[in-house]
């Protein structure tokens, strides 16, 4: 299988294979934002097979926390915690990539200072809480927050960072016409809605240039479409990708629930999203495909569609040694035994059990 062969990123870093552990929220951090021993064990069990492991998202500003138990990267005080994560992952042989994130309208009032949540505009999050529109100066500061979190990841010894521009969080909120109703430099036209995502990417890249070597990995995760009438379309995403690929990024990570999913609002009609993203990007900029990959044939199909890397999420929850077993020609479990949580932190396991059907067997 080609996916077991090494792959060299644009910055020259070689990964031992093309399997990636997808970033998944663990709810396992300590109340102060430090990593817990439970979360370290969870990563340790899954770092021995994949070529790269992307952590659960770490919030880059105190007002960006979207989940209880979310690890933090918004202050230098968290560098020792971040270092523990990086070292744990690297001990298994995987490249350690910290996903940097701000919840925006999806942040929770109970989790942020003064219950003050901000977004591109005054919009309600999926939990029903209203965010206020951030001032232009606050948005400028948020751009720098991603850069400072990158510096902390570099200091902590991570191999890279992934900019979380997907899943309805802050960066996506600025790009989307559904959530961005601003009239300043950060909103209005599609071109202005690109300003914040591009500014974040450029700030992160500049921080790498100032504090890291060329082999520090920088990736960008994005959601290709939104369901709302004035939300992101695949045509919008094509413009975003055209701009992002002009920057020295090392990969693009398409966020999908199913690798077989197709576009639903696109000038070209209904086409496979992974295949279309591959066609939109330059050949030497790899993409990570993800979504409902449980067995080896799923991974091969996603790769055939154009995914240079295949990210495993639920498969690694069910079977932490998925990569090793598939490489050895062994069968892998595709449903989870509720009596064996596979080193998944208890609060994460409880959350998984509460979402019937998301993990087969639970």
pLDDT tens-digit series, residues 10-56? 999 999 999 999 999 999 999 999 999 999 999 999 999 999 999 99
Contact at 8 Å (CB) between 202 and 220?
A: no
DSSP percent split of the chain into helix, strand, coil, nearest 5: 40, 15, 50
Q: Whole-angstrom Cα distance, residue 105 to residue 133?
A: 9
DSSP lists the bridge partners of residue 164 as 221
In a domain, 239, yes or no: yes
pTM of the model: 0.98
Domain of 85? 2-333
Position 265 scores a pLDDT of: 84
Confidence of residue 5 (pLDDT cuts 50, 70, 90): very high
Position 1 scores a pLDDT of: 82
In a domain, 327, yes or no: yes
In a domain, 121, yes or no: yes
In a domain, 356, yes or no: no
Among this protein's residues, is 169 annotated catalytic?
Answer: yes
Position 63 scores a pLDDT of: 98
Q: What is the CATH number of the domain that holds 192?
A: 3.20.20.70
Neighbours of 11 (CB within 10 A): 17
In a domain, 348, yes or no: no
Which string of b and e fits 195-219 if b means at least 16 CB within 10 Å?
bbbbbbbebbbebbeeebeeebbbb
178 DSSP assignment: T
At residue 45, the 3 state secondary structure works out as coil
Position 143 scores a pLDDT of: 99
Q: How many domains does the chain have?
A: 1
Position 357 scores a pLDDT of: 86
Q: Whole-angstrom Cα distance, residue 170 to residue 139?
A: 10
In a domain, 115, yes or no: yes
Q: Is the dihedral of CA 225, 228, 229, 232 positive or negative?
A: negative
In a domain, 45, yes or no: yes
Of the candidates 131, 105, 113, which has an alpha carbon nearest to the alpha carbon of residue 72? 113
Q: Which of 42, 146, 169, 251 is catalytic?
A: 169
The pLDDT of 326-330, averaged and rounded, is 96
* Percent of the chain residues topping a pLDDT of 90: 95
> At residue 241, does pLDDT exceed 90?
yes
What does pLDDT average to over the chain?
97
Position 191 scores a pLDDT of: 97
Neighbours of 257 (CB within 10 A): 11
In a domain, 341, yes or no: no
Contact at 8 Å (CB) between 270 and 262?
A: yes
**CA 119 vs CA 95, 131, 198, 226, 361: distances in Å:** 32, 6, 17, 17, 37
110 DSSP assignment: G
pLDDT tens, residue by residue, 197-219: 999 999 999 999 999 999 999 99
Q: H or E segment at 100?
A: strand 95-101
DSSP string covering 246-297, please?
TS--SEEEE--S-TT-B-SS-TT-S-BHHHHHHHHS-TTS-EEEESS--SHH
The pLDDT of 316-345, averaged and rounded, is 95
**CA 361 vs CA 151, 200, 356: distances in Å:** 41, 40, 9
């Amino acid at each position: 299988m080609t996916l077991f062969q090494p792959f060299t990123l644009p910055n020259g870093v070689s990964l031992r294979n093309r399997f990636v552990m997808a970033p998944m929220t663990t709810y396992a951090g300590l109340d102060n934002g430090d990593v817990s021993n439970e979360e370290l064990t969870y990563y340790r069990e899954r770092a021995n097979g994949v070529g790269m492991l992307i952590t659960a998202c770490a919030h880059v500003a105190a007002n960006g926390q979207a989940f209880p138990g979310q690890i933090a990267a918004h202050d230098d005080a968290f560098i020792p915690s971040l270092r523990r994560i990086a070292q744990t992952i690297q001990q298994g042989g995987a490249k350690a990539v910290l996903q940097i994130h701000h919840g925006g309208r999806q942040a929770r009032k109970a989790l942020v200072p003064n219950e003050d949540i901000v977004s591109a505009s005054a919009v309600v999050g999926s939990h029903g809480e209203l965010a206020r529109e951030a001032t232009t100066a606050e948005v400028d500061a948020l751009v720098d927050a991603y850069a400072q979190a990158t510096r902390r990841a570099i200091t902590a010894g991570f191999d890279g960072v992934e900019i979380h521009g997907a899943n309805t969080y802050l960066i996506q909120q600025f790009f989307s016409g559904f959530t961005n109703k601003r009239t300043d430099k950060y909103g209005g036209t599609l071109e202005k809605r690109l300003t914040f995502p591009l500014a974040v990417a450029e700030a992160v890249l500049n921080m790498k240039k100032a504090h890291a070597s060329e082999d520090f990995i920088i990736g960008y995760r994005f959601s290709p479409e939104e369901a709302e009438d004035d939300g992101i379309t695949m045509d919008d995403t094509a413009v975003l990708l055209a701009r992002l690929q002009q920057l020295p990024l090392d990969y693009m990570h398409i966020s999908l629930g199913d690798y077989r999913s197709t576009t639903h609002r696109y000038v070209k009609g209904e086409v496979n999203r992974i295949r279309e993203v591959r066609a939109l990007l330059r050949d030497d900029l790899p993409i990570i495909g993800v979504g409902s990959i449980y067995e080896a044939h799923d991974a091969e199909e996603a790769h055939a569609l154009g995914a240079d890397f295949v990210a495993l999420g639920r498969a690694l929850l069910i079977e932490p040694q998925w990569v090793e077993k598939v490489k050895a020609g062994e069968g892998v479990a595709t449903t989870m035994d509720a009596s064996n949580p596979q080193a998944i932190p208890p609060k994460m396991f409880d959350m998984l059990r509460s979402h019937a059907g998301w993990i087969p067997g639970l």
